[in-house]
Chain A
Amino acid sequence: MRLSKGLGALALGAMLAAGSGCARGPAPGRVELRFWAMGREGEVVQELVADFEKLHPGIHVRVQQIPWSAAHEKLLTGHVGGSTPDISQLGNTWIAEFSALNAVEPLGPWLERSSDCNPDSFFAGIFDTNRLEGVVYGVPWYVDTRLLFYRRDLLGEAGYASMPTNWKDWREAMRAIKRRVGPKRFAIFLPANEPTQAEILGLQAGSTLLKDHDSRGAFQDPPFRRAFDFYIGLFREGLAPPVGNSEIANVYQEFAKGTFAMYITGPWNLGQFHDQLPADLQGKWATAALPGPEGPEGGVSLAGGSSLVMFRGSKHKAEAWQLIEYLSQPEQQLRFYHLSGDLPARREAWRDTALSADPRFRSFGVQLGRAVSTPKIPEWENVIAKIQDQAESVIRGAASTDSALAALDREVNVLLEKRRWLLERRRLSGQPVAEAKR
């Protein structure tokens, strides 16, 4: 008797608590905007958002920080479960996926009415990643591309005054470094658990990665094959250590020790290298745009970064657009850069002296001019994961290049079967199939 009453009271109390837990919300009369941002961006954007709230007293922005490792899953679960935020940061390679899901709002009408936000004021290659079959779904927030960070002193000691600009010379330079540093140290660090390097080299060699309207893998075709051979060759020759990020533990320490002289990475490391490397090394590192197979113009890299998108389910689209517009203003972009180290997507913001004066940043400006996008299909994230699996098994000696690339094509073709069927269905129903543009 006592027990059952006690249980009843407990359950009742807990249910009341559950009710009150749900009731938390903004003060009456204020619109609450839910904004998802990832990783470090989620932390620093709070400061910009606070100022936005001062300008718009009627709007309260609730920022939710999501770790990058879980971001993709969380966004999809949110969409499927009908609990997406009003506005979110979205990696620009994910936009195709979310537009295929009908999850994100086309921004064309909003952009047309905007006085400040205009497609021409962004890097063209980057803005293009937000456009699918002519419809714009995102506004670039910050840009990201990959290029070489290197030790100028080690390259110089090997007899090179500057970074070579074609693959052949680049490899010669790496061999020269390797000859000097000996067996325990390396010319370049290409993390075995990242697909990015293989992806970039493939694009440089002219591979489209996928073919037939992005419905089949093109990994056994000559361009990707050439790039992959070059990539794997760097490991086989001992120029790059066959290890992943976790085995290196601290890249800054190892870079400082000269364990490797080059590293392909992104803009967030500009700040990190500055903060983490010892003072006596600060004059000795530099950045350079990537070499191309035949020369600098072929040295393309990924058009990466994040965009701001608005979800279709949002009930406060006008307010959400105000926030997107605010975060896209050149001054806010610059502030965001100073807080996070993320490079501004607006070209006006690059006129800032800190960005245009430092040669390390200038390399990024150059590289961004050669940024190209990867196939814009919903399955792309999954394809990348498969590239990584196969590349890693070749690097670690668990598979041969032939079998790995054949397996990659096979797996990707299985993965894209649905896409082929959908394209066929669309063709039969008389709709044109747009040629994929890069």
Chain B
Amino acid sequence: MKGWVERQQSRAAWAFLSPALLLLGLFFFLPVVAGLALSVTDFDIYAIGDFSTVRFVGLRNYVQAFTNPVFGTALRNTFYFVLVGGPLSVFTSLGAALLVNAPLVRFRTFFRTVFFAPVVTTLVAVAIVWRYLYHPSYGLLNLALGKVGIHPIDWLGDPHWAMPSLILLAVWKNFGYNMLIFLAGLQSIPEELYEASRLDGATAAGRFRHITLPSLGPTFLFVAVMTMIGHFQLFAEPYVMTQGGPLKSTTSVVLLMYQEGFKWWRLGMASAFAFILFMIMLAATWIQMRLQRAEAS
């Protein structure tokens, strides 16, 4: 009887899983493995016309990627976006969460909804909006800066300002999501902890440092890793706003992969770009996990 029930359940389980596993296998795992295979060939525009021109090239694409100055620039830009934009985004989220969560706040849900609103918007649409906000002579941003005596900045046209402009947009667009997650983390801290420390005479700053921050540890890790992974995949902002310019200052690895792959159809090379990015993301995630664990212990 028991064996029959288990067999029954096992059969049902595989039936329940089969659509998901089939789809993932065919349209996710298979392409990923194929991508790895593609990255050691010189599959390109000629190969699409005549398959016999495909050659196995070993690691040549990887070697060429690292000697290709544009890929180097794209890597640097991507790291810039991740290392500056990521923390900025996380700390903005934390700040917003602390504000919204403060005990004295009225209209809490209203503020929460307002701060979350940009998350819901379509990136392409808001990138277009921001493109106009950044306009050197007609944009609101320079208008506002002009009021406090700052000279107009050519946000998207100046190679030094273009990436900070994209970062500002990304922070605005994304901070609401992490704010929610921090809020959840803050609300799960038991009130008794605060009560106890208040009785011990701890200051507000002390309570923040010794109770709030440590309790947020796991949330912090989650947010940091997810934000980093998201930032590594920078694409739509430069695609819509700058096309990677000026002087390649906003060309990201994914944008370069898109151009190499779907503009020039050098799919072998583009796949190598994708895998290098993947390896970097994997390594960065691992490092972050390790750091966090070291800190916790």
A residues with a Cβ closer than 8 A to B are 69, 72-73, 76-77, 79-80, 97, 100-103, 193, 244, 246-247, 249, 378-379, 381-382, 389, 392-393, 396, 398, 407, 411, 414, 418, 421-422
Contacts and interface: CB of A to CB of B under 8 A. Distances in A.
Contact of B70 (A244, A249, A389): A389
Interface bin, chain B: 20 to 34
B263 A72 contact: yes
B53 interface: yes
Contacts of B243: 69
Contact of A73 (B247, B248, B263): B263
B263 A396 contact: no
A232 to B, nearest CB: 16
Interface in B127-164: 136-137, 154, 156-157, 159
The 10 A-B residue pairs with the shortest CB-CB distance, nearest first, are A101-B49, A246-B157, A247-B157, A102-B49, A73-B263, A382-B264, A80-B48, A73-B262, A378-B45, A76-B265
B237 interface: no
B49 A100 contact: yes
B191 to A, nearest CB: 36
Task: Tell me the dominant secondary structure on chain A's binding face.
Answer: helix
Contacts of A418: 42, 44, 46, 53
B246 A244 contact: yes
Contacts of B70: 389
A79 B248 CA distance: 28
Interface string B45-60: 1101110010100000
Interface in B222-275: 243, 245-248, 262-265
Given A97-B45, A389-B70, A422-B53, A246 B246 contact: yes
A17 to B, nearest CB: 22
A392 B156 contact: no
Contacts of B154: 247
A79 B53 CA distance: 18
Contact of A378 (B46, B55, B136, B159): B46
B64 interface: yes
A379 B265 CA distance: 10
A322 to B, nearest CB: 28
B185 to A, nearest CB: 30
B3 interface: no
B69 interface: yes
A103 B157 CA distance: 37
17 contacts: A72-B263, A73-B263, A76-B263, A76-B265, A100-B45, A103-B49, A193-B245, A244-B246, A246-B246, A381-B264, A393-B247, A396-B159, A411-B68, A414-B64, A418-B46, A421-B55, A422-B46
Interface in B24-53: 42, 44-46, 48-50, 53
Contacts of A379: 264
Contacts, number: 56
Contacts of B157: 244, 246-247
A100 B137 contact: no
Nearest to A392: B247
Interface string B100-136: 0000000000000000000000000000000000001
Contact of B265 (A80, A393, A411, A414): A80
B247 A100 contact: no
Nearest to A386: B70
Contact of B262 (A76, A102, A422): A76
B45 A193 contact: no
Contacts of A407: 69
Contact of A398 (B46, B137, B247, B264): B247
A77 B45 contact: no
Given A73-B262, A100-B45, A398-B247, A249 B53 contact: no
Given A100-B45, A101-B48, A398-B247, 5 more contacts: A249-B137, A396-B159, A418-B42, A418-B53, A422-B53
A396 B247 contact: yes
A160 B45 CA distance: 50
A335 B149 CA distance: 53
Contacts of A73: 262-263
A422 to B, nearest CB: 7
A80 B247 CA distance: 30
A378 B156 CA distance: 32
Contacts of B137: 249
Contacts of B265: 76, 80
B45 A389 contact: no
B136 A249 contact: yes
B194 to A, nearest CB: 40
A361 B270 CA distance: 45
Nearest to A69: B243
A398 B160 CA distance: 13
Contacts of B45: 76, 97, 100-101, 378
A111 B136 CA distance: 52
B170 to A, nearest CB: 21
B78 to A, nearest CB: 18
Contacts of A382: 264
Contacts of B44: 418
A422 B265 CA distance: 17
A398 B249 CA distance: 12
